[in-house]
């Protein structure tokens, strides 16, 4: 992390202190902006990511449509709109299955590596092997992390597209003010709620409504499930 002296060098490169030139396709987004700080992160997948804190001008407001909508969040369907439209939750089952397979491989390989390390110690081998000298369990760990990262990235992309679409379509959006931390204490629902990403969905709606001149209303969920007698 450091204060930024980053410069855009052509269409595809950024110049970063000590690291030199880094290739990226995002230089177009940085036009007419002031880069304040930068952070280089090493992900569990083994990839490096550059995070930038950027000062930008106020985004243009979306044109008003005169439409209002209420949103009820769910598990199978992430968003059920008051006009009858439904938007499904992101399906991450494929990536979860792959991650579980590699989690089992990782656990098994690491366990075998530990046994071999102990075996070398007990036999008092001249050059005993260390746990880090075995690369197969490390490869399995990175493969597991890659599938988890793919699921997280695609879920975030899906939520960005959905929330942007909703903010463009409606001037006023009402949503239940759910306390996801309390709901996740229910072990039967915790995984489904985490996969649906209610909290991220709400956060994206909040800041996009603020950016683009729309209004978000948080409704107290008390009695919202009660059916009117009339």
pLDDT, tens digit, 9 for 90 and up, residues 168-217 = 999 999 998 876 555 555 555 555 555 558 888 989 999 999 999 999 99
**In which band, very low, low, confident or very high, does the pLDDT at 103 lie, cut at 50, 70 and 90?**
very high
Residue 10: which region, alpha, beta or left (left: phi > 0; alpha: psi -120 to 50)? left
Over range 81-85, report the average pLDDT: 91
Q: How far is CA 229 from the centre of its chain?
A: 42
Q: Which two tokens stand for residue 146?
A: 């890659």
pTM of the model: 0.79
Rounded Cα–Cα distance for residues 138 and 130 (Å): 13
**In which band, very low, low, confident or very high, does the pLDDT at 163 lie, cut at 50, 70 and 90?**
very high
Angle at 35 between CA 146 and CA 197, to 5 degrees: 40
> Which of 18-27, 104-113, 119-128, 179-188 has the least mean pLDDT?
179-188
pLDDT tens digits, 5-61 = 777 887 788 888 777 888 887 788 888 888 888 888 888 888 888 888 888 888 889
Over range 106-131, report the average pLDDT: 92
Domain boundaries, the chain: 2-55, 68-91+140-219
């Amino acid at each position: 992390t450091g204060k930024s002296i980053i410069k855009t060098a052509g269409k595809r490169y950024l110049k970063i202190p000590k690291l030199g030139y880094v290739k990226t396709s995002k230089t177009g987004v940085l036009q007419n902006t002031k880069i304040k700080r930068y952070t280089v992160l090493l992900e569990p997948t083994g990839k490096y990511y550059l995070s930038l804190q950027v000062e930008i001008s106020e985004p243009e407001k979306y044109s008003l449509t005169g439409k209002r909508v209420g949103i009820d969040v769910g598990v199978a369907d992430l968003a059920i709109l008051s006009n009858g439209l439904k938007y499904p939750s992101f399906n991450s089952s494929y990536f979860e299955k792959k991650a579980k397979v590699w989690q089992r491989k990782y656990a098994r390989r690491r366990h075998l590596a530990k046994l071999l390390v102990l075996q070398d110690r007990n036999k008092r081998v001249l050059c005993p092997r260390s746990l880090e000298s075995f690369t197969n369990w490390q490869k399995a760990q990175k493969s597991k992390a890659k599938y988890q990262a793919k699921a997280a990235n695609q879920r975030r992309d899906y939520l960005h597209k959905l929330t942007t679409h909703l903010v463009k379509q409606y001037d006023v959006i009402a949503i239940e003010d759910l306390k996801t931390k309390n709901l996740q204490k229910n072990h039967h629902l915790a995984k489904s709620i985490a996969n649906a990403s209610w909290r991220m969905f709400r956060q994206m709606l909040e800041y996009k409504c603020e950016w683009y001149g729309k209004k978000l209303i948080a409704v107290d969920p008390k009695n919202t499930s009660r059916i009117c007698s009339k």
